[in-house]
Amino acid sequence: KDPIPEITKVINQIYPWVVSITVETLVKNRFLEVSNQGMGSGFIVRPDGYIATSKHVVSGASSIQVHLNNGDTYPATIVGEDQVTDLAVLKIEENDLPTAIFADSDKLNVGDWVLAIGNALAIKGGPTVTFGIVSGLGRTINTEFGEFYNLVQTDAAVNEGNSGGPLVNLEGEVIGINQAILKQAQGVGFAVSSSIADPIVKSLILHGHVRRPLIGFSGMTMTPDIANQLNIPFTEGVIVTEILSPGPAFKAGMRIRDVMTKINKTTIPDVPTWLVTLWSYQVGEQIEVEYEREGKTFTAVVELTQRPK
């Protein structure tokens, strides 16, 4: 069945809960404060006025305005922000609002049709809609705001204005939150997958921050080059480059140069897999870590503590 005729129906379904966001930021120069204006997008996640968006759209703003598609405008406050995923939640004082539904992005396939929607470039006349397919899954990108993991890649145009807006499937469900922060990208858009975003949005609403587990070390994806330099028998995994003493991994016996290969029997070939796996566990849980040291395999039981906010 040709999906194209369904698009208008999907757009009408999602318009009511997509919002545009304008922000003012005060910037001090040597003599006076100058007000900078910015814009972005978001979408309503609870009927009582909670709105998901990108952190970089609203962070540091002196004032935030949320514009609904019925023409109403509300002042908004930041409920919580998460640096790791570049997500934020805003609150406006209103009730009985239409809300978005998160889909399970783990069921996405490359080639699925998607729509990116938002306040693209703050052009008058309502939100902008772009249409495309899922081009890739589980992407990692480096940006000026940090490194981001497990992103959905799409060829639907994602730009500064629809950053923070939803990426939706043809059922009108949110499968990602648009993240337009890779300046050099041409014809490539990225979105934080809904499987990552949904629990983070819920945690920001409940706690104002995300309770993430801390394993207590930093690492790099193991490569043949690193193995040769350090004279380590090459295996896939994450090499420990820094370790907190005394932290959870250190207490469990891990040290710098150890190469972690598994968490609870799940193979960990690289840093993105490690972090996504780690963040699926709760603070206080015990995990079994398998690691290599000098050609021998060891296991350690690590009790996860809470990552600082």
Active-site residue numbers? 56, 86, 163
Strands 238-243 and 73-82: unpaired
Residue with the two structure tokens 């399970």 = 104
**Closest by CA position to 176, among listed 125, 126, 135:** 135
C-beta pairs of 122-131 under 8 Å, 24+ apart in sequence: 122/20, 122/22, 122/39, 122/161, 123/161, 126/15, 126/69, 127/15, 127/18, 127/20, 127/41, 127/69, 127/162, 127/165, 128/161, 128/162, 129/7, 129/11, 130/156, 130/157, 130/158, 130/162, 131/7, 131/156
d(CA 51, CA 17): 9
Burial call 36-50: b when 16+ CB within 10 Å, e when fewer: eebbbbbbbbbeebb
For residue 110, give the 3-state DSSP assignment: coil
Q: How many CB atoms lie within 10 A of CB 296?
A: 8
What end-to-end distance do the CA atoms of the chain give, in Å?
Answer: 48
